[in-house]
Amino acid sequence: MTVSADNPKGETSSSAMEAFINYNKTLIEKKRAHPGDDLVSGLVQNNGQEETLSDKELISTIFLLIIAGHETTLNLISNGTLALLEHPEQMHMLQQDPSLIPAALEELLRYTSPVSLCSIRWAKEDIPMHGEVIRKGDMVLVSLIAANSDPAKFTNSAELDITRQINRHVAFGKGIHICIGAPLARMEGQIAFTTLLQRMPHLRLAVKPEQLTWNHTPMRSLTRLPVTF
């Protein structure tokens, strides 16, 4: 990773990544020697199958599980909580009628997507768009936030509406690239918001919304969410 005036944290990030890779290498060796009843042990062992994952594949898979299975759900819960706190009438409605939780979760996924950008794509052919041309071979980054705010697809797209009936958001991607963990994320989100609203009915922001700060990564994440309850 290059360190520059525009990327002062590059060296720290590079060191952290190296430490993470070394941690995984040690973990893999430990699970090979002493497998347990856990996911990493299952990945390391061949379980009677002919093919096993290489060390690089194992490290990549563990990395994906941590990022895709933890950070995104964390962002969904924190971003969604902020959205509800900024729309107290919607939060009150949800507290009065918990049966709205599934629909509310889909709306929170649309309104404040936990991931800003999809993974990198390359154009297979020239694509005319809005008076410009994306040339064949060009790298393309698709904004999931923009897609989920498209007024051509969502009525009153800028508004949070937990009763929205037609909600074909792309927070989990689309097609063959749709997130394989989407069902688990939905379950975790429903449990988290149901529990939060039940246990902390008087939840409030402890700072003004404009005082909150966001991380600048492909993820859409708050650095912290101070609350009172």
Q: Provide the percentage of residues in the chain whose pLDDT is more than 90.
A: 65
Q: Does residue 192 surpass a pLDDT of 60?
A: yes
Could you tell me the pLDDT band of residue 2, with boundaries at 50, 70 and 90? very low
Q: Does residue 11 surpass a pLDDT of 70?
A: no
Predicted model pTM: 0.77
Helices 72-85 and 182-199 cross at an angle (nearest 10°) of: 40
CA distance 194 to 213: 26
CA distance 80 to 109: 8
Q: Which two tokens stand for residue 113?
A: 């997507």
CATH of domain 53-228: 1.10.630.10
Q: What is the arithmetic mean of pLDDT over 186-209?
A: 95
DSSP, residue by residue, 175-200: GGGS-TTHHHHHHHHHHHHHHHHHH-
CB 196 within 8 A of CB 204: no
Could you tell me the pLDDT band of residue 3, with boundaries at 50, 70 and 90? very low
pLDDT attached to residue 181: 86
CB 167 within 8 A of CB 107: yes
Q: Which two tokens stand for residue 229?
A: 């309850």
CB 203 within 8 A of CB 229: yes
Could you tell me the pLDDT band of residue 120, with boundaries at 50, 70 and 90? confident
CA distance 85 to 15: 37
Q: What is the arithmetic mean of pLDDT over 182-199?
A: 94
CB 108 within 8 A of CB 75: no
pLDDT attached to residue 155: 94
CB 75 within 8 A of CB 221: yes
User: CA geometry: angle at 78 spanning 76 and 84, to 5°?
Assistant: 95
